[in-house]
A and B are shown apart, each in its own frame.
Chain A
Amino acid sequence: RKEVEQDPGPFNVPEGATVAFNCTYSNSASQSFFWYRQDCRKEPKLLMSVYSSGNEDGRFTAQLNRASQYISLLIRDSKLSDSATYLCVVNGRTARQLTFGSGTQLTVLP
């Protein structure tokens, strides 16, 4: 079983749609959680951290359920520029390495 598992995708949605990505992680000792965005043939960039209470950044909302070891990302009012691969990322309690999911590809269609 992979340490971080994501929806395989791809997701193709029209502009203005709401889309949700899900992710589960296996290491219950994990302490930090993130969503990264990676554009085609570019490096990953931090989209947002994920907190236990849930957090929002504009059109993006992230949720964490520690009991279920489940992370989600909701994108509202999708824009063409949101087209990218979204990577679910977990950092362990003592390990400072980032563990990435395989990513979910999103294409927003005009």
Chain B
Amino acid sequence: DAGVTQSPTHLIKTRGQQVTLRCSPKSGHDTVSWYQQALGQGPQFIFQYYEEEERQRGNFPDRFSGHQFPNYSSELNVNALLLGDSALYLCASSLWGLDTEAFFGQGTRLTVV
């Protein structure tokens, strides 16, 4: 039973570019949440997807957008990259409507130069 998988594991981009990160949730899970973790900080909630719709959003600008596909996998897109977007991006999967454990992927480490 595969857990949460994210790709790529590492990425280097230049300021102003756009990036797409991908996440496949744990088998049986239908909800995907994305988090940004800067160095030395805890993860910060970006947004959450369920039934292919954004259900909740944290305090992130519109440069951050996402999508969920019918197979529950998800993408995080960041446009007009800034140096400050350098971070570990974590995907967490869970079941909607239940207070169950959220499982995290290993993350994508994005470096913006």
Q: Is the CB of B40 within 8 A of A102?
A: yes
Residue of A nearest to B46 (CB): A97
Q: Which residues of B contact A87 (CB under 8 A)?
A: 42-43
Asked whether A17 is an interface residue with its Cβ less than 8 Å from the other chain, the reply is: no
B40 touches A43 (CB 8 A): no
Kindly state the separation between the CA atoms of A90 and B101 in the bound complex, as whole angstroms.
Answer: 12
- Give B20-44 as 1s and 0s: 1 = Cβ < 8 Å from A's Cβ atoms: 0000000000010101000011111
The verdict on B82 contacting chain A, using a C-beta distance below 8 Å, is no
B79 close to chain A: CB less than 8 A: no
In chain B, what residue has the closest Cβ to A88? B42
**Docked complex Cα distance between A100 and B104 (Å):** 14
A10 vs chain B, min Cβ distance (A): 11
Is the interface on chain A under 10, 10 to 19, 20 to 34, or 35 or more residues? 20 to 34
Determine if A100 and B90 form an interchain contact, defined as CB atoms under 8 angstroms apart: no
Total interface residues on B, CB under 8 Å, equals 24
* B14 interface residue (CB < 8 Å to A): no
Q: Contact at B48–A46, with CB atoms within 8 Å? A: no
Expressed in whole angstroms, the minimum distance between the Cβ of A30 and any Cβ of chain B is 12
- A89, closest chain B residue (CB): B42
Do residues B56 and A96 form an inter-chain contact, with CB atoms below 8 A?
yes
Q: Which residue of A97, A100, A102 has the most chain B CB atoms within 10 A of its CB atom? A: A97
In the complex, what residues of B have CB within 8 A of residue A91's CB?
A: 99
Given contacts A32-B99, A43-B90, contact A95 B42 (CB under 8 A): no
Contact surface of B with A, Cβ cutoff 8 Å: 31, 33, 35, 40-45, 48, 55-56, 58, 90, 92, 94, 96, 99, 101-102, 104-107
Q: Please, could you name 25 A-B residue pairs with CB atoms under 8 Å apart, sorted by A?
A: A4-B42, A31-B99, A44-B43, A44-B90, A44-B104, A87-B43, A96-B31, A96-B48, A96-B55, A96-B56, A96-B96, A97-B48, A97-B56, A97-B58, A98-B33, A100-B35, A100-B42, A100-B43, A100-B44, A101-B42, A102-B40, A102-B41, A102-B42, A103-B41, A103-B42
